[in-house]
Structure 1
Amino acid sequence: MRRRLLTSTLVVAVIAVLLLGVPLGVVVSRLIVDEAGQALQADARRLLSEVEYARIHHKGINTQQVARNYPDRYIQIYVGGTPPEATIVGTEPPPGRRMTSDAHSESGVWVQVSRDRGEVEQDVRARLLLIVALAAAALAVAVGLAIVQSRRLTLPLRDLAMIAERLGSGDARPSKHRYGIQELDRVAEVLDRSAARISDLLNREREFATDASHQLRTPLTGLTMRLEEIVAAADQPAVVREEGEAAIVQAERLTKVIDELLAAARRQRHAQVEPIDIDSVLIQQVTEWEPAFRRAGRKLLLDGERGLRAMASPGGLGQVISSLLENSLQHGGGPVVVATSNNDKSVVIEVSDEGPGISDELASRVFERNVSGGGGTGLGLTLARALTAADGGRLELIRPRPAAFAIFLLPVTEESHNRVVSGPA
Structure 2
Amino acid sequence: MRNRIVAVLVAMVVGVVLLYGIPRAYLLADLVQDTERRETQRSADLVAVAVEERRSGGGEVDEDFLGSLLHGGESITLGQADGPEVRVGLPPTGDSAGDIVAVRALADGSELTLRRSEDLVGQRVSDALLPLILIGLALAVGAALVVRVLAERLSRPFRELAGVAEAIGQGRFDQTIPHYRVAEAEAIGDAMRRGISRLGELRRRERDIATNASHELRSPISALRMEIEDLASWPQTPPEVAAELTSYLPQLDRLSTAVRTYLDTAQQQRLTDVDVVDLPALVRDALTRWRPRVRAASGPALVLVDEPARPLHVCASGSAVAEILDRLLQDAVDRRPTHVLVEVDSQDGFGRVRLELEGEQAPAGSEARAAATLTAVGMGGRVSVVDGHTVVMLRRAGEDVQGENDS
TM-score > 0.5 by shorter chain: no
TM normalised by structure 2 equals 0.39
> Bigger radius of gyration, 1 or 2?
1
